[in-house]
Amino acid sequence: MAATCTVAVATGLIMEDTNTKTRRAIRPQLHDGMNTTGCVLCDHARFVDLTARKAEFSEHAPQELNRDVLRIIGILISPDSN
């Protein structure tokens, strides 16, 4: 019987944030009360290996903001959007 090896990789979808306030619909503002300020750059989404980068979370976004960001990404990658 051959030996097997399983490697778990923690891959995450991340988006940068910026302190520059913008009124673009694809860049929702971070909520008041968060330590991080500015807006989410949904048009800069990418996947990264969080384990390899030794990533640490400074804070978690509220569910409402998460829903807004996921909705925007869905629109950006939809084959029906022009």
What's the confidence (pLDDT) of residue 7? Answer: 43
On whether residue 33 sits in a domain, the answer given is: yes
> For residue 26, is it within any domain?
yes
Residue at token pair 């009124």: 23
- Asked if residue 70 is part of any domain, the answer here is yes
Question: pLDDT-derived band of residue 71, with 50, 70 and 90 as boundaries?
Answer: very high
pLDDT, tens digit, 9 for 90 and up, residues 29-39: 888 888 888 88
- Residues spanned by the domain of 17: 12-77
State phi, psi for 12 to the nearest 5 degrees.
-130, 150
Decide if 1 is inside a domain.
Answer: no
Backbone angles phi, psi at 67, to 5 degrees: -65, -45
Q: In this structure, what CATH number is given to the domain that contains residue 37?
A: 2.30.30.110
Residue 77 Cα distances to 16, 68, 69, 70, 82, angstroms:
18, 15, 12, 11, 10
Phi and psi at 11, nearest 5°, equal -95, 135
Asked, for residue 41, whether it belongs to a domain, the answer is yes
